[in-house]
Structure formats: structure tokens, C-alpha cells
């Protein structure tokens, strides 16, 4: 967000006073959207946004330096939070715990925006039961080279699988390139069972749409397909919820859709400037989601029928127990920011022009990796389409950022 010295503005929202600092600070330069505009956007869609994020502990993804800088992830709620912000203490697989924010009303939405949050990242559990998710999340994540029509085809295959096991899927744009399908479930199953159900659905979608969809966890093995990302249902994972603003230049919004809209609407249509009018005109397409609670029994029966998923292959002599890729991968760089990662990739391509010309879109892997409180980026190249005799060897990394440098971990030797 650009520097601003405008005085703070205090809003009365549902009887709660919410202070908005630097309200005229420009958050999205291209459309000229300010911090106060972002607050007003969330107030205009509050009913829908709270249907997705309300009552759930959330990770605060903060952009104090604007959308062009990397955000940082704050699990712990600020100590000076107002009394209209509830909290819930989550225990993580790492052995740590965090008291996280739980918003329940429009004032809570405005409060998190004032902290620099744009998208809302709630866990799939309610604050009243932190061990049993009530939402199964299907993330259709396209690989490079995949167009919207293929994502839509996979979405309808996923809907067919859900229908067959007695579940109702509610689609929304991810706010980036993909689609999310949300499924309300009774909070009777733990994280492990919910993740197994999601993985089973992903495998069945791949079985019904081979080549179009994949459940392969390792990115280099997916090709130009839509990855049905079942691991978004693992404990500790969060995704941007309905009506979240994404940090893209056009202020794009993760927008709920009716199924009959999925084929002809496009993600770029839905922004901070267009969604409030849509919401006022047609309401929230997900208005009935909380009444469509289903059971995972059908997916878990299917898991038994399919049998265990194929385990990732291990390299010969992999004594450390780590998975070894079967693809001819080389690593190019590790960087702090995405622009640095893309610059390193271009430098590598300039060194190996003939090789770069033979790469397919999905052969270039630029991955955002979660660090301790922020993302870092890893750049790899899959040489599967390059003749073996022409493949360059692994070289010294063009950039070698260490996100863990200088950190000490409890219990470390």
C-alpha cells in the first residue's frame, strides 16, 4: 500500500467503532482503489463473506507494503484486538499453537482490512470444534498451458463424482486462474479422514477425465492438466474464502457462482468494482450452502474400493527416506520474491536458449513455498522434452535464498 498521511477515520459498524488508519492509502493503483474502498467493499458483501469466513479461526495474511511486496502470515491474533473479535487456540502438527482471530460480523471484516489483509484465509473448522472440519475443499489448480475450458470440464466431472456420493458442491472462482468447489459436511470426521476423502475424489476425477485432470501430488508429473489439489484439506492449510479480494492488479475477487454460470463467466469479470453490484442484484449464489450438509461415507467407501494411493517413487539408494523424482529436474534458483524468481528464470533461459525453446509450458516450475511467516520462491525446470544428450547439468543456483537463515527452533540441537 502506498504511503499516506491522511488522518484515520472511525466507522460505526453494527454498534462497534472500527478505526481505519490512512483511509486514502492507495491499495490497487491501476483501478485507484483505496484502503477505505476495500473496507466498503467488504461491508457491501458482508453477508456472503461471513458465510465463508465467519466463525472460523483464520490466518491473517497482511500486505503492509502493498500488493507488489510479499505479504506475511500472522497466525497469532494481535494482543490489542477489540472485544468484538473472538479467538480460538489451534494446535499445529509442528507442536506449536496459536491463538487465532475469529470474526463474526461486519465490524470484524473491517478490522482485518485495517491490519492490511486483503483476502480472508479461514481454516475449514468452526471455532466451537477445531478437530472436525465441516468443509471439504476442492481446489482445481491449472498447470501452465491449461485454458479455462479445461478447468470447467474438470469442474463438471468433480460435480458428477460429488453427485454420485450424495454431496453438493458449490463453485466459486479462486480469484486467480482456477476454481474452488466447497462442500459442507457434518463435523463427524477428523482431518485425516477428510483429507482421505478429498484425495479419493481427486483420484476418481482423474480416472474419469484422464489427461484433463490429475491427482499427482508432484508438480513435475502433472503435465498440462488440472491438478485436483486434495492437500488443501490437510490440517494447517487455509484457502481464500468466498468474496476474498486477491492481490492482483485488477483487484480480482474470489466469487461464488451458480453451476449454470460456470461455463460462460470468467474470473476477470469479478473485481472489487463489479462484485458489489452483482451481490446487490442477484444475492449470494452460496446462500444455501449451510443447509446442504452431507456425509463423507460415500467417498470413504470409494476410498476402500480404490485401495491405497500409489506411493511416490524412491530413488535408488535413497537412504534418507526422501522421495526422489523420476523426472529429469534441475533447480535454477531460490529467491525471496517472485520477481527475483522470474528474473533468475530468464537468466537461465538466456544461458540455455536452445534448451529453453524445447520446454513445454508445464515444464517450467515456479513455486511459492511457505516459510516461517512469508512465502519464498523455488524455480525448477523439467527437462523431460529435451533429448538426454542435450540436457544441461545441475549448475550452481543463480540465487540461493535461505528462508530459515538465522532462525532457531525449539528443541533443535
List alpha helices for 217-327, DSSP H.
275-282, 297-306
Q: How many residues in the chain?
A: 413
pLDDT in tens, 349-396: 888 898 888 888 888 888 777 766 667 888 888 888 888 888 888 899
SS3 state of residue 198:
helix
* Domain-wise residue ranges, the chain: 329-400
Query: What integer pLDDT is reported at residue 372 of this predicted model?
Result: 60
Query: What integer pLDDT is reported at residue 218 of this predicted model?
Result: 79
pLDDT in tens, 71-122: 889 999 999 999 999 999 998 877 789 999 999 999 999 999 999 999 999 9
Task: Classify the C-alpha dihedral 197-198-199-202 as positive or negative.
Answer: positive
Cell numbers at 219, concatenated: 508438480
Cell numbers at 259, concatenated: 453451476
pLDDT in tens, 223-241: 889 999 999 999 989 999 9
- Helix, strand, coil percentages (3-state) for the chain, rounded to 5, are 30, 25, 45
CB 205 within 8 A of CB 157: yes
Q: What's the CA gap between 271 and 259, in Å, rounded?
A: 20
Task: Classify the C-alpha dihedral 214-220-223-226 as positive or negative.
Answer: positive
Query: What integer pLDDT is reported at residue 409 of this predicted model?
Result: 45
| Res. 338: pLDDT tops 90 | no
pLDDT in tens, 127-160: 999 999 999 999 999 988 899 999 999 999 999 9
Q: What's the CA gap between 180 and 292, in Å, rounded?
A: 17
CB 304 within 8 A of CB 193: no
Amino acid at each position: 500500500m502506498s504511503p499516506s498521511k491522511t488522518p484515520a477515520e472511525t466507522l460505526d459498524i453494527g454498534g462497534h467503532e472500527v478505526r481505519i488508519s490512512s483511509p486514502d492509502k492507495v491499495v490497487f493503483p491501476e483501478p485507484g482503489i483505496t484502503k477505505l474502498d476495500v473496507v466498503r467493499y467488504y461491508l457491501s458483501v458482508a453477508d456472503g463473506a461471513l458465510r465463508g469466513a465467519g466463525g472460523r479461526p483464520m490466518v491473517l495474511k497482511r500486505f503492509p507494503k502493498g500488493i507488489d511486496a510479499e505479504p506475511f502470515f500472522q497466525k497469532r491474533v494481535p494482543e490489542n484486538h477489540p472485544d468484538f473479535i473472538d479467538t480460538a487456540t489451534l494446535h499445529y502438527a509442528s507442536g506449536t499453537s496459536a491463538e487465532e482471530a475469529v470474526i463474526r460480523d461486519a465490524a470484524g471484516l473491517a478490522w482485518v482490512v485495517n491490519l492490511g489483509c486483503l483476502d480472508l484465509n479461514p481454516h475449514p473448522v468452526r471455532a466451537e470444534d477445531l478437530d472436525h472440519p465441516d468443509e471439504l475443499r476442492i481446489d482445481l489448480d491449472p498447470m501452465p498451458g491449461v485454458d479455462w475450458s479445461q478447468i470447467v470440464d474438470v469442474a463438471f466431472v468433480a460435480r458428477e463424482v460429488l453427485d454420485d456420493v450424495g454431496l453438493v458442491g458449490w463453485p466459486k472462482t479462486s480469484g486467480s486462474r482456477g476454481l474452488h468447489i466447497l462442500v459442507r459436511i457434518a463435523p463427524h470426521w477428523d482431518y485425516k479422514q477428510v483429507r482421505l476423502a478429498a484425495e479419493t475424489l481427486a483420484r476418481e476425477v482423474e480416472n474419469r477425465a484422464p489427461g484433463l485432470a490429475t491427482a499427482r501430488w508432484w508438480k513435475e508429473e502433472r503435465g498440462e492438466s488440472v491438478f485436483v489439489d486434495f492437500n488443501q484439506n490437510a490440517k494447517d492449510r487455509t484457502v481464500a474464502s468466498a468474496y476474498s479480494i486477491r492481490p492482483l492488479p485488477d483487484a480480482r475477487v474470489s466469487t461464488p457462482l451458480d453451476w449454470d454460470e460456470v461455463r460462460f463467466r470468467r474470473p476477470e469479470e469479478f473485481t472489487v468494482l463489479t462484485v458489489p453490484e452483482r451481490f446487490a442484484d442477484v444475492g449470494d449464489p452460496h446462500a444455501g450452502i449451510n443447509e446442504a450438509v452431507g456425509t463423507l461415507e460415500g467417498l470413504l467407501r470409494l476410498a476402500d474400493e480404490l485401495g491405497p494411493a500409489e506411493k511416490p517413487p524412491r530413488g535408488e539408494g535413497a537412504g534418507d527416506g526422501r522421495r526422489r523424482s523420476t523426472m529429469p529436474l534441475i533447480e535454477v534458483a531460490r529467491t525471496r520474491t517472485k520477481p527475483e524468481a522470474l528474473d533468475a528464470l530468464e537468466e537461465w533461459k538466456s544461458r540455455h536458449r536452445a534448451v529453453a525453446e524445447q520446454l513445454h509450458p508445464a515444464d517450467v516450475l515456479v513455486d511459492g513455498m511457505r516459510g516461517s511467516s512469508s512465502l519464498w520462491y523455488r524455480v525448477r525446470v523439467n527437462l523431460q522434452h529435451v533429448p538426454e544428450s542435450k540436457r544441461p547439468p545441475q549448475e550452481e543456483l543463480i540465487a540461493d535464498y535461505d528462508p530459515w537463515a538465522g532462525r532457531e527452533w525449539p528443541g533443535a540441537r
